Amino acid sequence: MHTQPRTLVLVFGGRSSEHEVSLRSATSVLQAVDRERFKLVLLGIGRDGSWTTGPCPSAEQASPALLADIVANGTPVPDIRALHADVVFPVLHGPYGEDGTFQGLLEAFGLPYVGSGVLGSSLCMDKAISKHVLHNLEPAVPQIPWIECDARLLPSSLPALTAAVERKLGYPCFVKPANQGSSVGITKAHNATELATALALAGRYDAKVVVEKAVDAREIELAVLGDGGPETIVSDPGEIVLPPNTWYDYDTKYIADVAGLEIPAKLPGPVIAQLKHLSLQAFRACGCHGLARVDFLLERKTGVPYLNEINTLPGFTSISMYPKLMAHAGVAYCELITRLCELALARHRQRATLHLTRD
């Protein structure tokens, strides 16, 4: 029996500093989605928050430049409900797309969507709050020693903050905006002068800033696919392999192209099992759904795996770790998109059964 294709609204662009990364991710989705199962409708979001749409290109024609043109010159969309979505795939990275704000809008409109809900999205986006949650689990998920501060209180709070960093963390340390992705606004500080500069930069992106102890560690990432139940897939770990004296900043990720991906990572069996367990524990504890990439820093000296970040809408570009890890787990890119949409629809149906009254 022929089944009518579902309308999949693909959302890209966004107001965050990761706008260009989103265009690249969305291009890869357009090139891989099963077009017999899904009728694609595009929704571009400009840096000013405007919404536009345009003709959906073929897989061969899809490109970041074409999507950028839709964002800049497409037909205005006054209301997402006018696009008649069966399911929404927000391929948005960073604030105003990955942090629960867009998810809240879709919830209010009653639209099924791929990925975590409002709480899971906002919790994992906030590096400070997620650290508190994971640190206080029983058993705890290991966190790198950290300090958080309010950038709005700088520079008057700088002397006390510098003293706290030197006492509790030492140098070098990493300074990060609490709510950002793709290493935007992150600096490695080696002394008090660099710390002050790093805090000022991070404060441009978020009022809340996190300062972490720098550890000599391997960058290990795992992919999760599912609803947190027994059928949830946790991939084997992959490793980001970097040249000496290089850390995984924005340029390394997207411009210089010097990072290598080793899938699977060369790790002992017990360490792999531990990382998989911690990934699923964190995924469930933070209320994640659908997908996540769970990033660890595996300290070389001690072997301790520190959970660095849970990314609820990880990159979907051709070089991104998440789809590569899932492919190694046996889920090809096209099937991955289909499964994510099915998970979104299943979650929407389940939530529709919940009582909204006392009857």
Q: Tell me, yes or no, if 107 is annotated catalytic.
A: no
Q: Is residue 284 part of a domain?
A: yes
Which residue stretches of 74-117 are H helix? 101-109
Helix (H, G, I), strand (E, B) or coil at 8: strand
CATH number at residue 323: 3.30.470.20
Q: Is residue 356 part of a domain?
A: no
Pairing of strands 233-234, 238-241: unpaired
Select which of 14, 97, 117, 315 is catalytic.
315
What's the total number of domains in the chain? 3
Active site annotation includes 318:
no
Residue with tokens 């696919």: 225
Residues 133, 169 within the same domain: no
Check whether 248 has a pLDDT greater than 70: no
Whether residue 274 is found in the same domain as residue 130: yes
Residue 320 inside a domain? The answer is: yes
Mean pLDDT of 288-306: 97
Helix axes of 321-328 and 333-352: crossing angle, nearest 10 degrees: 100
Given a cut of 80, is residue 244 above it in pLDDT?
no
Of 130, 179, 205, 254, catalytic:
254
- Among 169, 193, 213, the domain-final residue is 213
Catalytic residue among 182, 235, 308, 320: 182
- Note whether residue 22 is domain-resident: yes
- Does 315 participate in catalysis according to the annotation? yes
Classify residue 5 by burial, with Cβ atoms within 10 Å: 0-12, 13-18, 19+.
Answer: middle
Tell me the C-alpha distance between 48 and 68, whole Å. 13
Q: pLDDT at residue 163 above 90?
A: yes
- Residue 81: active-site member: no
Structure tokens belonging to residue 263: 């899938």
260 lies in the same domain as 221: yes
Same domain? For 107 and 130 the reply is: no
The one catalytic residue among 15, 24, 218, 293: 293
Do 83 and 226 have their domain in common? no
Helix 127-135 with 269-285: angle, nearest 10 deg: 110
Which one of the listed residues 16, 122, 311, 320 is annotated catalytic? 311
Residue 355 lies in a domain: no
Query: Is the pLDDT at 249 greater than 60, yes or no?
Result: no
Residue 246 sits at φ, ψ, to 5 deg, of -120, 140
Pair 102, 164 in one domain: no
Domain membership flag for residue 358? no
Residue 317 has pLDDT above 90, yes or no: no
Considering the domain architecture, whether residues 129 and 252 belong to the same structural domain is answered as: yes
- pLDDT, one tens digit per residue, over 78-107 is 999 999 999 999 999 988 899 999 999 999
Q: Residue 18 catalytic?
A: yes
Residue 254 among the catalytic residues:
yes
Structure tokens at 91: 């391929």
Which phi and psi angles does 274 have, rounded to 5°?
-65, -45
Are residues 211 and 147 in contact, defined by beta-carbon separation less than 8 angstroms? yes
**Of 24, 44, 309, 333, catalytic:** 309
**Mean pLDDT value across the chain:** 92
Report how far apart the first and last C-alpha atoms of the chain are (Å, whole number): 39
Of 313, 357, 300, 249, the residue nearest 25 (C-alpha): 313
**pLDDT tens-digit profile of 331-347?**
999 999 999 999 999 99
Does the residue 80 lie in any domain?
yes
Q: Which domain holds residue 16?
A: 6-113
pLDDT at 358: 79
pLDDT score recorded for residue 1: 44
Given this model, what pLDDT does residue 258 score?
64
Asked if residue 154 belongs to a domain, the reply is: yes
What does the pLDDT read at residue 298? 97
Q: Would you place residue 260 in the very low, low, confident or very high pLDDT band (cuts 50, 70, 90)?
A: confident
> Which of the residues 98, 206, 212, 295 is marked catalytic?
295
User: Do 220 and 135 share a structural domain?
Assistant: yes
Say whether both 107 and 235 belong to one domain.
no
To the query of whether residue 295 is one of the catalytic residues in this protein, the response is yes
Residues 153 and 132 in one domain: no
User: 162 phi and psi, to 5 degrees?
Assistant: -60, -45
Among 10-24, 217-231, 242-256, name the one with the lowest average pLDDT: 242-256
Q: Which of 174, 193, 213 is the last residue of a domain?
A: 213
Check whether residue 277 and residue 138 sit in a common domain. yes
Q: Write the CATH number for 96.
A: 3.40.50.20
CA–CA separation, 174 and 287 (whole Å): 27
What pTM does this model have?
A: 0.91
DSSP designation for 227: S
Q: Is 110 a catalytic residue?
A: no
- CATH number of the domain bearing residue 160: 3.30.1490.20
Residues 209 and 275 in one domain: no
